[in-house]
Amino acid sequence: MSPTNESAQEPLVASVLVARNLAKAFGSNVVLRDIDIDIRRGQVVALIGPSGSGKTTVLRSLNGLEIPDAGTVTFGSGDDSAELAIDFGAKVGKKEVAALRDRSAMVFQHYNLFPHMTVLKNIIEGPVQVQKRPRAEAIADAERLLERVGLADKRDAYPFELSGGQQQRVGIVRALALKPQLLLFDEPTSALDPELVGDVLGVIKELAEEGWTMVIVTHELAFAQHVADEVIFMDGGVVVERGPAAEVLREPRQERTKLFVKRLQHDV
């Protein structure tokens, strides 16, 4: 289905990221087919759909954790960075992948914290080792961010000493510490016990209110409806429907979207 996204008509300067015709297959299994995404500065986009629909592969492609077989990703210029354009149809080397990852930061489903490092060291690893920022500056940023998510007292704790919700909040802080143009969340609450979900969603909601640009893969449809500016429903590796959150989740046009939303309607 051809996407009809008004933001595609906006000049690139208004966009953080424009992806065109992303395609990916693992052997004979085609997981992405001609995916187009436009993300404007300060916009929150929710990717929804059944398991295996390609949502996480899209997210990983935007961050360079997965290299698409075809398509392009273009990051608009930020306050201190020039435009970055990558054509996956050409040879993409380590330099291009590193540049792509420098523009975005991922919050993973299963936290992915380094178990042998304290909370503080987990957070400052990227800014110090990858971005080459001064250690004192990185520590100050980490402590400020831990304070804002209510984990200042966990600075010297190890991941195994934290609850799942606390680990995920550390994962969010680790992403924020990189000062990315784009935050990517891969089902950030799916590994949490139900009573811990609210704390993590609360942090993400605050980030949205502050104007962070985000793409969130989620099954939390009620959350998507209240936080996302745009919802993209995927199935079978294609975009089936996209539009304002209330429109897609309350009055979907496509039958496949209607069936998916109805199945999860108790969460909306």
Residue-wise DSSP of 89-147: TS---HHHHHHHHHHEEEE-TT----TTS-HHHHHHHIIIIIS---HHHHHHHHHHHHH
Q: At 20, which CATH number? A: 3.40.50.300
Identify whether the C-beta of residue 163 lies closer than 8 Å to the C-beta of residue 194: no
218-266 pLDDT, tens per residue? 999 989 999 999 999 999 999 999 999 999 999 999 999 999 999 886 5
- Assigned domain for 26 exists: yes
- Assigned domain for 172 exists: yes
- Assigned domain for 81 exists: yes
Identify whether the C-beta of residue 127 lies closer than 8 Å to the C-beta of residue 120: no
Provide the number of structural domains found in the chain.
1
- Assigned domain for 146 exists: yes
- Assigned domain for 242 exists: yes
- Assigned domain for 170 exists: yes
- Assigned domain for 1 exists: no
> Which range has the worst mean pLDDT, 9-13, 111-115, 133-137, 158-162?
9-13
What does pTM read for this prediction? 0.89
- Assigned domain for 199 exists: yes
Domain hosting 202: range is 6-267
> Which range has the worst mean pLDDT, 83-97, 120-134, 146-160?
83-97
